[in-house]
Amino acid sequence: MIWHQTLQRNLLRNTQLPALALGLLLAAPDAPAGRPLTVDDAGIADRGNCQLESWVDTSGGQSAAWAMPACNFTGNWELALGAASLPADSGHRNAAVLQGKTVLRPVTDNGWGVGLVLARQAGEQAATSINLPVSLAWQGQDTLLHANLGAIRPQGAHTAATWGLALERQLGELTGIGLERFGQRGGGATTQLGLRRAIVPGRLQLDASWGRKSDQPRAKTWSLGLVWTGAPLQ
């Protein structure tokens, strides 16, 4: 999620506001990656399935609330319309993200896959981004390596290259762990450790992440989220 890197940097610049409330969730299928990873994977929801990831993200002691619903209506594209409530001097401000994602080559057991993600962030920090996620699988798909390469162009600014690398491992049927590092040219890199746990298998997931940025080692980051899954379009 390249757009998330820009919003995360903006969050670090603010110096006010406590944690914001998290919204309710609705729908989504299982996928190789997703929360709590920021680095994207080369997979999308199955046709007729939806997902809604929702989480609180804190960096440098300041927090934001996120909601990212996505559905696959056609079989070829997963469309997402996300929203965030970010801290600001006068209380908080909202941001919206429209994202389209497709798979150019599906990930296979012990194989690899490639995706394409296009996103537009609206609001005070408007930006357009493109990302090419590549996923490699071992032990079926219990171990996955995700690599991202892309670019982001904030409104009124120059285009910057973006990158990400994540290693993900399934620990039994209910638990998964991931380690990632991501950033963009001209900015510091973020390293994060993530953990997820299925509360209701195939329906409800609880996840969390902890990390820090290389250019702000004292500003620790963490997140806590939920994912509700289902197939409302079938």
- What pLDDT digit, counting tens, does each position of 179-202 carry? 999 999 888 899 999 999 999 998
pLDDT at 214: 84
pLDDT in tens, 134-143: 999 999 999 9
Complete DSSP assignment for the chain: -HHHHHHHHHHHH-----PPPPPP-------SS-TT-SS--S--PPTT-EEEEEEEEEETTEEEEEEEEEEESSSSEEEEEEEEEEEETTEEEEEEEEEEEEEEE---TTSEEEEEEEEEEESTT-EEEEEEEEEEEETTTTEEEEEEEEEEEETTS--EEEEEEEEEEEETTTEEEEEEEEEETTS--EEEEEEEEEEETTTEEEEEEEEEETTEEEEEEEEEEEEEEE-TT-
| pLDDT for the residue numbered 24 | 24
**Residue 225 confidence (pLDDT) above 50:** yes
pLDDT for 167 equals 98
User: Is the confidence at residue 48, as pLDDT, over 50?
Assistant: yes
| pLDDT-derived band at 70, boundaries 50, 70, 90 | very high
Average pLDDT in the chain? 85
pLDDT at 5: 57
| pLDDT for 14 | 45
Could you tell me what percent of the chain has a pLDDT over 90? 62
Q: What pLDDT is attached to residue 206?
A: 97
Q: Which of 17-26, 121-130, 151-160 has the lowest average pLDDT?
A: 17-26
Domains and CATH numbers, the chain: 2-230 (2.40.160.40)
**pLDDT level of residue 27 (50, 70, 90 thresholds):** very low
Q: What pLDDT was estimated at residue 20?
A: 26
